[in-house]
Amino acid sequence: MVTLMLTWLWVGQVGAIVLYDTDNPLANTTAPVGDYANSGWAWQGRYGAFLGTMIGEQYFITAQHIGVQGSGTFVSTAAFNGLADVTYTIDTAANGGLGFWDIAGTDLRVFKILESFSTWAPIYTGGAEVGSTLVTFGRGAPRGAEVMLGPDLHGWYTTTSDGVPRWGANVVSQVISSGVGDLLAAQFNAVAGQHEATLSHGDSGGGVFIQVGGDWFLAGVNYAADGLFDTNNTVGDFSEFSAALFDRGGFYQGSDTGGWTFISDTPADKPSMMYASRISSSAGEILSIITPVPEPGALWLLCLSGIFFQRRRRGSDGHR
C-alpha cells in the first residue's frame, strides 16, 4: 500500500461526474446498460443535495463531509428504481439519538431509515480492488470549458453542480492511506469510448462499485478529486480553479492556504485522480452496524449446536 501524505491535502472536497467522452449534460443520466448493467444505479438514492447507497434493509451509506442534510429523507427516485419516487424517513433517534454512525477515521457515515428498503447493495469485503473496473454515481457538474496550455488540451473546468444523477466508469489504480482512512484512487485518463470519468462538485457521497464474479459490490463512497489548480503560485489573485485534468503537467496544484506544487509538463500525461473512501477497510465496522445482533438466547443455542457438532465429529473418528 502506497502512503502519500500530501495527496489528501491537495484534494478538493468536491464531488460531479465528468466524462472524457462528452460534455453533453444528458449523457449517462439513465440506468447503465451492457457491460455496466446492474452496477449499482438502482441502489442509489437522493440524500439532500447528494447521493447515498442502500446497504441494508434499513441502512444507507454516504459521505460525512457533506454534513447532515436538512431534508431528513432518503429518496429512491423513479430514475433509479424505474417505477416511482419512494421517500424514506431517516431515523433521527438512531445510535442513541445521534441520528447516524460515523466510521471512525474515515469520511464514511451510515444512516438508518424508519421503513424498509426492498433491495440493497452487497458491500465489498475483499482486497482486490486495484485493477478492477469501477462504476461511480454522483450529482455533480458536467464538464465545462476547455483547459488549454498553449495549443494543448489538458482537460476541462468543472462548474457548479447541476444536481442531476449521472454515472461514469474508470479503473481502480491504487489504494492510498490518508488522513481520512484508505482511499481507492483512479486516474482520469485520455481514453475514449469507455465512459472514462472523474468527480467534480456535488458527486460526494455517491457509490463506487466493482464487479466480482459477475456481481457488483459497493467498494467505495465518492470523497474527492485532485485540485485546486493554477497557472501561478501567486497567493490572493483568485486565479485558482477546479478542473478535471487528464494531464496536470504544466500546472500548479494545491491552494493558497496549503501551498502550491508545480507539476512539470512532460510528454507523458500526468492524470488527475478521483478518490473514494474504501469500504473494505471498514467492512467489519459497517457490518456490525447494519447486521442485527442475534438475541442472547439464539446466540447461546448456536454455540451449543456448534459444540454438539464438534463432539459428533470427534466421536465418529476413533483415532482422535
**Interface residue list for Ca ion (CB under 5 A):** 170, 187, 189, 230, 232, 234, 237, 239
Which CB sits closer to Ca ion, 170 or 222?
170
Gap between the Cα atoms of 249 and 229, Å rounded: 11
Bridging pattern class, strands 2-3 and 174-178: parallel
Which CB sits closer to Ca ion, 24 or 232?
232
In angstroms, what is the minimal distance from the CB of 170 to Ca ion?
A: 5
Compute the radius of gyration of the chain from its Cα atoms. 22
Gap between the Cα atoms of 42 and 165, Å rounded: 12
In angstroms, what is the minimal distance from the CB of 32 to Ca ion?
A: 17
Bridging pattern class, strands 59-63 and 50-56: antiparallel
In angstroms, what is the minimal distance from the CB of 18 to Ca ion?
A: 12
Which CB sits closer to Ca ion, 48 or 254?
254
Task: Quickly list H helices, the chain.
Answer: 7-10, 78-81, 283-290, 296-316
In angstroms, what is the minimal distance from the CB of 154 to Ca ion?
A: 16
Which CB sits closer to Ca ion, 189 or 277?
189
Which CB sits closer to Ca ion, 123 or 219?
219
In angstroms, what is the minimal distance from the CB of 168 to Ca ion?
A: 10
Gap between the Cα atoms of 290 and 52, Å rounded: 15
Gap between the Cα atoms of 294 and 245, Å rounded: 50
Name the one residue in this structure whose C-alpha cell is 417505477: 83
Cβ-based neighbours of 180, under 8 Å, separated by 6 or more: 8, 105, 106, 107, 223, 277
Which CB sits closer to Ca ion, 236 or 315?
236
Cis (ω within 30 of 0) for the bond into 228? yes
Vertex 200: Cα angle to 196 and 202 (nearest 5): 125
In angstroms, what is the minimal distance from the CB of 186 to Ca ion?
A: 5
